[in-house]
Structures are given as C-alpha cells and as structure tokens.
Structure 1
Amino acid sequence: MNSVRHNQPVVVLAFALGLLFVSSASLTTSIAAGTRAPNVLIILGDDISANSIGCYGSKNPHTTPNIDKLASEGIRFTNMFVSEAICAPTRAELYTGLTPYRNGVTVNHGATKKGTLSMVQHLGQLGYRVGLSGKTHIKPASVYPFEKVAGFPKNCNQSEPDPESWDGVEEFMTRDSEQPFCLVLASIHAHSPWDAGDSSHWKLGELKLPASLADTEETRNYYREHLGEVRLFDEQVGTARSLLERHGLDENTILIVLDENGAGMPGGKWTTYDWGVRSACVMKWPAAYQANFVTPAIAQYCDILPTLIEAAGGEVPAGMDGKSLMPVVSGTQKRHRDAAYFVYNSGPEGLEFSSRAITDGRFKLIWTLTPRQPYAVRTINGFDYGYVDKMSDRHVRKMYQSWLKTAETDEFAQRLIQRFRHRPEFQLFDLDTDPDEMVNLAIQPEFGPKVKQLQTSIVRWMEQQGDPGHERRAKKKQR
C-alpha cells in the first residue's frame, strides 16, 4: 500500500460541510506555488436530524462525541439546509450543485437529467479520482460514474447490517500520493430499521423527545434505538479521523460532515418542516488555516460542490445553483444567502401532495399547494388510503400506530396527528421563538404582509427554477 505524503492536503466532507479555512486568494496562491490540490473526504449520514447531534443542541447526551470534537476545532453551520428532505433529491443536490427542478430529481427514487455533470466529472476534470463507498440512491450511472469503493454497507433498509470495513477506504485514500482524491463515505445510519446501534447510553424514562413526536412507549423505544444509530455514525466519523492520523494526513486534511435530511419519522423526512430540511454541517481544514467559529450564514447543499471546485483551483460553472462558501469559510464575509427554499413532492411515497417553503433565517413560510389533499407517507400511514406495506413490521409505522391509540384519550397526540395528516395552505413560524414550528402565525391577521412577502419570493424562485407547481395550482383554481 502506497504511503501518502504528509504535505498533501486532504478534504474530508463528512457529516457536515468541512470547508476551507483559507481565503480564496491565499488558496489560489498556494496552488500556483505548486502545492497539490486538496483531497476531499465526505462523510454523509442518513436520515439524521441536526438536533440529534450534541453540538447542535441535542437534549440527550452522549450522541456524537466525535462530531462535537470536530466542531470544536472547525466551523459549524447553524443554517445549512437541504432543498428537499428525501434521500434521492438530497444526494442529487449535493453531488450536482443543482436544486431539484434543475437536476431533475423532484421525487424520491427519481433520476437526474441525462447529461448533467456531477462531482465526478467536475473534480475529474481537475485531476481527481472520485470514489464512493456505501449507499448510492442516485441514477443514472452516466451522471454518477463514481469509482465503487468496498467497505460501507449499501442497503439502508437492511435489518442488523454488518459493520463497515475500512480496508477499501484505506486503499483508495493511500493509493497514489501524486493524485488528489475525493471520497464519499455514505453511511446507512440512522436510516430505519433502527436495530444496529447500542442504545444503552439512554434510559427510556429520561429520554427527551422532539416536540413533534407523541410520547408513547413505542416512540421512546424507537427513538432511543435511532439515537443508537446516530452514535454509530459518529463512531464512523471518529474512525475516519483516526485513519487520517495513522497515515499522517490529519494536519493537512479538510473534514466535512453532513447528516443528510431529517429523521425518517413523522414531521421530519418527507416534509418541509425544519426537522426535515435543517442539516448539520461541520467543517475542518488543515492546521495552517485553523478556524473555530459558528456561522449563521444561510447555505444549502448545492453550495458544497462549487466550494470544492474552488478549493481545487477550478472555476465554478455559471449555471450552478450553488455558490461557493469560500468567502464565509475564510471569514471575508458573514452572509451567504438571503433565504433558503424548499420543495416537497410525494411522488411514489404517498398520495399526491406538494408544498414549497422559504426561510429568511428567522421566519419560515410553508405553502401547501394541495391544501385539500390529505398528507400521507406510505411507509408511515399508507394504511389510511389502502396501501398494503410489503414490510409488515416497519418501525416508523408501529410508532405512528401507537399515536393513534394514544390519541383516543390524549389531546396532544390528537393535535400531532392532525398536524401530520392535514396541512393548511399557509403555515408561518417564527424560528427564533418557535424552533419546533408548533404555532402557526399565518392565521393571525397582523402577519398577513409577511406571508404575502414570503409567498411572492417563493413564486419568483419557482419561476426561476422551472418549477410548474404554482402553474398547476393556478389552473385548478381557474376551473
């Protein structure tokens, strides 16, 4: 196995966005002076909401000691978002730098438009070899010709999966010290079923549940097991760092850790609520560019690829939706975007249902384009419309069924089921005072102008994106 030179920078894109702690000018200068382009290591979680992570305010201890340590040494983004909180759209956005209607993946299991360039081509043109180990959930292969790296499990739906192997990862990272690499470690944790981790760190009676979950015995059991898998993902981050240290790469390594979209539970994944679209993003760069700060700059997953292109000394294509985060990471500017925008389309996941949303950092508007249509996700409450699940023991469905039973005598559980099944046309939340999005301000007349302002911004964004959702809705109203 080839050894890696100690002066070779390495970028680790892990659970968050471990971006560059060096200004664009100084990085360009160093490349021009002959320094090799940085390597990239991306560690990506699966269905983990940011507030399950310690440094993002987890109410339960012991979830992520390795990620918390990384955050204490690097940059933590508090307003990083995915555009659509579903696995396939999230990954397509990350790998292409394009938002859902621009890359073509607007529903789960969708395919990216043929001819689209991904991370593989963009970094390949800059001399990188680009690999992926673990979960894919992307297509077609012509857009995503990653080198397949053995080691990480691929099937996120597998019960009690085998642990990952690091041999293939180590071989890929150390194969050729003369050529920079980009490697994605795509974990299957903490995707359901939740049965792979060690949940002994938390006692059921002491567990703190997210506000959007009904407090039932089943909910507590499954949420504790979910945290066990969050802990497994955190251990993968720790092992990756140890591997870099073993080969003398840690001092010249950029780490990026991302948690993908929110937890696969009611109110998280498959929604435009914050518990689904808000992502953890932690970054760390080489010691020479050490930085340790928290930034509230609004950013989205499409911003990651252009950042890497700039880090590698390339020119960011004009047609990308993403914008390089280098000015934020280098400390030359504090703002990045004025707002983040969100999409949800049910596709094969349930009854026809669509919503769009926006946040300006404080206020969040969710605009349901199908307000008369009940909301359903086949894996959670598909039985509401006659769907027969091929998996009879699906954990999240059992959790939701326990809510239905509790709601017979519990008013709060009734409210949560109503919140899940039926969405009003407009929901406005003040995230400063109501981060759990439980109080809809849109029904209060004094917030009418704010609703109109944010709705207008959504319409303009949809037009710019080529999103026909508002046009379909307008045509239906005219009938």
Structure 2
Amino acid sequence: MYKPTNVLLITADDLNYNSVGAYGCEVENITPNLDKLAAGGIRFNRGYVNIAVCQPSRQSIMTGRYPRTNGSLGFEPIKDGVPTLTEQLHHAGYLNGILGKEIHLKPTNRFFWDYFVTEGDLASGWGIGRDPKLFYSFTKEFIQKAEREGKPFFLMANSHDPHRPFAGSDQEKNAWGADLPVFTREITPEEVTVPAFLPDLPEVRREIAEYYTSVYRLDQTVGAILLALEESGQRENTLVMFLSDNGMALPFAKSNCYLNSNKTPWIVSWPNSIKAGRVDDAHFISGIDYMPTILHALRLPEVEGMDGKSFLPLLEGRTQSNRTMVFTEFHRIFAGIDYPMRGVQEGDFGYIVNFWSDGEHQIRGDAASGRTYAAMKEGAASDAFVYERLRHYEYRVPEELYDLKADPDALINLIDDPKYAELVARLKSQLHRNMRQTNDHLLERYEGTFLNQ
C-alpha cells in the first residue's frame, strides 16, 4: 500500500554556494550537519536559483515559474490565478507549514498554510529567525500536529541566517540592541578566505568572518530541524531538500546574475529512494524545477504553465539530456528602482546582459551596507585594483562573458575577445529563445540593442 511521502524544504537566506563544507569551504567544520545531509543523499554541483533576491526567488521555487511569468519581479505578490505548490498539496490532503519568511510568499491566501510561525513570532526575544532551539521546537510541534490529524506534511523551514545583520556585527547591535540572537562559535578573520571577487582588506575580512559566524549558526538550525524530524520517526518517509534563496549579501553576489549570485548548494536526501553519497556534476537544475519535481515525486498531477521541469529522474539515478543550461534574471532591489539583467549559463560559460548599465546609473542594495562596501569606497582612493572593482560593481558594462570554470569569481570579462565571438552568438541566441518563449517584457529591447551586435 502506498504511503504518502512527507516533504521538508529547508532554506538558507543569502548563503553562498561555496560556504558549505561539502562544497569546498575551507573554514574547518563550518557545516557539519549539512555535510552529513549531503553524505546521506545527493549533492548537485550545478544547482541554481533563477533570481538572486529573496521574495521573487522563493516565489519562483513555489510556483515553478520565472519571476517574469508568475508576476513577481521584486517584492510583489504573484499574479492572480498562478498555481502554487502548497495549493496543490492542500488539495491532495497535505498539512502545510512554514517557519519564518512567510512575508516573502504573497498573497498569503494562495499558499494555504495550516501552520505558520510569522516574522513577528521570530522577532526580538524569539530568536529573530536565528535560534536553532526554536526551530527544533516549532518543527516538532508541526509534525505532531500532522500526526494528530493523520495527514502527510509539507514543511518549509526558513532560517534567517546568514542574512544581514551578521552575527556579532555592529550592524546587528544597531538593528536590535541588546536582545540579540546568540551564537556558540565565533569565526575569526584568520580562519576565513576572502572571496576573490572582493579585495582582501582588513574590514572586508572582518565582515566575512561575521558572515561565517552566521553560517555556522545556520548549520546548527539545520541540525535542529533534522533532529526533530528524526525523533518523530518520520525521517525514512520524508523527502528533504536544502538550498539557499541567493548568494551572500556582498558586492558581486546577491542581487546580480553572477555565479556567486545564483548558484546554490542544493542537497537532497530521501531514505530508501536516493543512494547515499552521490554527486551530480553534470546536470543543471534551477529553482523553477522544484515544484514540478515535488509533484512528480509525490505522484500528483502536473500543473500547466510551469516553466520548470521535474528532475526526479536524476534522483533515481538516471540522466536528462536537456539539462545543459540555466537562465537567470534580475529586475529591481527597491520599488521603482530597476536594474534589469538577464543571464544564461551553458556548460562552463556565462553570458550576462545589463540593460541598466549606461555609465550613469549606479546600483544600490543591501550588499552596499555593512563593512565591505564602505571599505571598498575608502580603499578605492589609494588602490587602483579596488577602484576598478568598485567602479565595475557600481556601474557595470552592458554585456559580460565569463569562463566560469577558470574564473568562477568573474574577474575577466571575455565579451570583446574575438576568440569567443561564436560562443557569444550562441549564448545570445539561447537567451533570445528563452525570452521569446516566456514573452519577456524586455524582448524587443534585447532584440533591438543586443541580439545582433
């Protein structure tokens, strides 16, 4: 007799793909719980989100659609009539629960939550979305509710780490005063490696250490959630996925279309269904694929209009020949201030078009708060490398091309190298096809300005 599978989705907030031990992080023992989860299932090395900012990223995951097709380009609700994963699960008899970040899935009535811990419940005095003990208690309470009601469950557990303000930072104290979420391990500047896309300045290194202190606490939260699941006796019948909504909130990561913006650690564990210790280096999967994959895994009907496709065959050890590229986009950081971008990565090469880049407009966002951006502003006055990096971050250029295998931190723009002209033309054509298929509102502008350059 078929027993419905439970689903647990654990998300990080602003976690870079390579900040996890299993993904090569050099900070010793930074993510033991995530590493254990990866060892017990499958780790995707080409997992992506389609947009690198919180609400539209999460709403893409939960609708199987690009932001430009579900209607949420920034911090807006999805369009009326767009089906959601939790709507389908609700109709199939599932109990739906969410821990934190429910404000980033709008409108609320389209997501059919039976149990939710709101931002207010996680506010000051409640751990501010960063207390592993609270996540343990809430997860346990939700699973017990599902057991009492005799229903399979879907739980979306959303850590607020390692989103700003970072653990132990001045920014954190300024935000919340004395009633701060606790942390049990402080990562020191000497322990970290500054990402190559940032200058290695003392204040930058200090902020990277604060970020990793938050990463360690995130991992403790993951461990607490999984412990509650294990103690419930439901672990063997639960499909667990872990991913981040976007990259770290620092220049050249979050709110862009770089590798460090959209690539995410993506781990799947499903006892008795997925062989432990597998690594997939070949196939591209993205946020829009989450909803169709879950529906497929649970033997539920497909939903029309989704842009994503199920990667259940990959979980089962098969291959999918069409998973050779991924498309990314960006629209706006704050209401009324647009920074439209589109990107495509095929194999090891990534092409980005920055519609907004004209040498005058300057990018803004929370990546420009904190120590790193201020240190770059100060360092630019006396260091030519820092000056050039800062100017490129703030103003960009209309088109970019990177060899992401040789240059994952996007330091060498190859767009004008004649050796890559044929590759650029192919990537532009792939992006054009995607924009045409999705009725992208920037299609005509792309055709008129970039396609045939």
Scaled by the length of structure 2, what TM-score is found? 0.88
Mean Cα deviation higher: 181-190 or 341-350: 341-350
The answer for the alignment partner of 1:181 in structure 2 is: 153
Per-residue CA distance 1:68-102 (angstroms, 9 max, x = gap): 11111110011111111010111101111111111
The CA distance in 2 between the partners of 1:456 and 1:404, in whole Å, is 37
| Structure 1, unaligned runs of 5 or more | 1-33, 382-395
Residue 268 (structure 1) aligned to one of 239, 250, 253: 253
In the TM superposition, 1:306-455 aligns within 5 A as: 306-348=292-334, 351-372=337-358, 373-381=360-368, 396-455=369-428
The share of aligned pairs that are identical, in percent, is 28
| Superposed displacement of residue 154, structure 1 | 6.4
Residue 124 (structure 1) aligned to one of 71, 80, 90: 90
In the TM superposition, 1:158-169 aligns within 5 A as: 161=128, 163=131, 164-169=134-139
Residue 290 (structure 2) aligned to one of 278, 284, 304: 304
Aligned CA distance change for structure 1 residues 292 and 179 (closer, same or farther; 3 Å): same
Per-residue CA distance 1:103-152 (angstroms, 9 max, x = gap): 11112x12200111111111112221111111121211232232233388
| Superposed displacement of residue 199, structure 1 | 7.8
What is the aligned length?
Answer: 429
In the TM superposition, 1:284-303 aligns within 5 A as: 284-287=269-272, 289-296=274-281, 297-303=283-289
The CA distance in 1 between the partners of 2:98 and 2:392, in whole Å, is 38
What secondary structure is seen at the aligned counterpart in 1 of 2:62?
Answer: helix
The answer for the alignment partner of 1:466 in structure 2 is: 439
The CA distance in 2 between the partners of 1:236 and 1:433, in whole Å, is 34
What secondary structure is seen at the aligned counterpart in 1 of 2:44?
Answer: strand
Aligned CA distance change for structure 1 residues 474 and 250 (closer, same or farther; 3 Å): closer
Per-residue CA distance 1:198-230 (angstroms, 9 max, x = gap): 485533134201111222222122211111111
| Superposed displacement of residue 253, structure 1 | 2.8
Amino acid at match of 1:341: F
Amino acid at match of 2:98: L
The CA distance in 2 between the partners of 1:158 and 1:86, in whole Å, is 27
Amino acid at match of 1:190: P
Per-residue CA distance 1:264-285 (angstroms, 9 max, x = gap): 1111111001111001110111
Aligned CA distance change for structure 1 residues 226 and 197 (closer, same or farther; 3 Å): farther
Residue 222 (structure 2) aligned to one of 237, 251, 254: 237
The answer for the alignment partner of 1:17 in structure 2 is: none
Residue 65 (structure 2) aligned to one of 98, 106, 111: 98
2:249/2:366 contact within 8 Å kept: no
What secondary structure is seen at the aligned counterpart in 2 of 1:214?
Answer: coil
The answer for the alignment partner of 1:134 in structure 2 is: 100
Residue 27 (structure 2) aligned to one of 48, 55, 60: 60
Residue 43 (structure 2) aligned to one of 68, 73, 76: 76
Aligned CA distance change for structure 1 residues 426 and 286 (closer, same or farther; 3 Å): same
What secondary structure is seen at the aligned counterpart in 1 of 2:389?
Answer: helix
Amino acid at match of 2:101: K
| Structure 2, unaligned runs of 5 or more | 168-180
| Superposed displacement of residue 405, structure 1 | 0.9
| Superposed displacement of residue 401, structure 1 | 1.4
The answer for the alignment partner of 1:115 in structure 2 is: 81
The CA distance in 2 between the partners of 1:268 and 1:460, in whole Å, is 26
Per-residue CA distance 1:407-451 (angstroms, 9 max, x = gap): 222222112202201222221111111111111111211111111
| Superposed displacement of residue 351, structure 1 | 4.5
1:350/1:378 contact within 8 Å kept: no
In the TM superposition, 1:210-221 aligns within 5 A as: 210-221=195-206
Residue 50 (structure 1) aligned to one of 6, 11, 17: 17
The CA distance in 1 between the partners of 2:192 and 2:198, in whole Å, is 12
Mean Cα deviation higher: 141-150 or 261-270: 141-150
Aligned CA distance change for structure 1 residues 370 and 229 (closer, same or farther; 3 Å): same
What secondary structure is seen at the aligned counterpart in 1 of 2:341?
Answer: strand
2:274/2:315 contact within 8 Å kept: no
Residue 237 (structure 2) aligned to one of 243, 249, 252: 252
Aligned CA distance change for structure 1 residues 270 and 313 (closer, same or farther; 3 Å): same
The CA distance in 2 between the partners of 1:304 and 1:282, in whole Å, is 12
Scaled by the length of structure 1, what TM-score is found? 0.84
1:427/1:442 contact within 8 Å kept: yes
